[in-house]
Amino acid sequence: MFRHILTLFKKDLLLELRQQYSFYGILLYIGATIFVLFMAIDGPESAVWNGLFWVIQLFICINAVAKSFMQESRGRMLYFYSVASPTAFVLSKLLFNSLLMILMSGLSLLLFTMFLGNPILKAGPFIGLVLLGGWSLSLVFSFLAAIAAKAQQNAAIMAVLGFPIIIPQLILLMRLSGAAFSPLLTIPVSTVLMLVALDALIILLAVILFPFLWKD
């Protein structure tokens, strides 16, 4: 199964490298949004900086991840059905979307610090939370995209299912990362482990539930 996962991952990577318009479209969105914030806000406070950063991560994830299942045509899905297992297919999507979102999170953090200043006092823990947060957001929206791809109103399904799930996770990430802006606060390891456990639960749910969607 690992070979199938790797092959499907390479397929998504090659498609992204050949098309590129979606990748550059996301980069344009990141750059334009941060530039507008730079023009509108002069040196935001650390709490505002932190909140804006994670809200932008949310919309980056929607743009980057939501298309992953929706771009697969019915004929292509039938072909994948004949050559790979549903578990291998969904795990390859989760892997590709996770790496793509981690890359985008790193780029947006770099641009944020360039244009809006760097109020971060604990750079190492904050970068770790950014990578973990990008991974967490990508897992949730990849799972939701798999469900929404089977519905006709894809965008509506993503909004209805996604935001009640993602908002608590986003608030948790904001509160965790807020400690990186204060010399007195520490990031609670137990909360980070709880976030990792939630990510593992999402992967488990995707592996269990996706085969039922696959059959349809």
What mean pLDDT comes out for the span 54-62? 88
Token look-up 């089977």 returns 150
Q: What is the pLDDT of residue 75?
A: 65
What mean pLDDT comes out for the span 48-60? 89
Nearest partner of 84 among 13, 192, 5, judged by Cα = 5
Q: What is the pLDDT of residue 53?
A: 92
**What would the pLDDT profile of 87-107 be if each residue is shown by its tens digit?**
888 888 899 889 989 999 999
pLDDT band at 110 (very low <50, low <70, confident <90, very high): very high
What mean pLDDT comes out for the span 162-170? 81
Burial 59-72 (b: 16+ CB within 10 A, else e): ebbbbbbbbbbeeb
Burial 152-167 (b: 16+ CB within 10 A, else e): eebeebbeebbeeebe
| Cβ 160 vs Cβ 115: under 8 Å | no
State the pTM of this model.
Answer: 0.86
If phi > 0 it is left, if psi is from -120 to 50 it is alpha, else beta; for residue 72 that is: beta
pLDDT band at 78 (very low <50, low <70, confident <90, very high): low
Written as six digits, the tokens of 120 are 């971060």
Written as six digits, the tokens of 157 are 């399904």
Domain residue ranges in the chain: 2-215
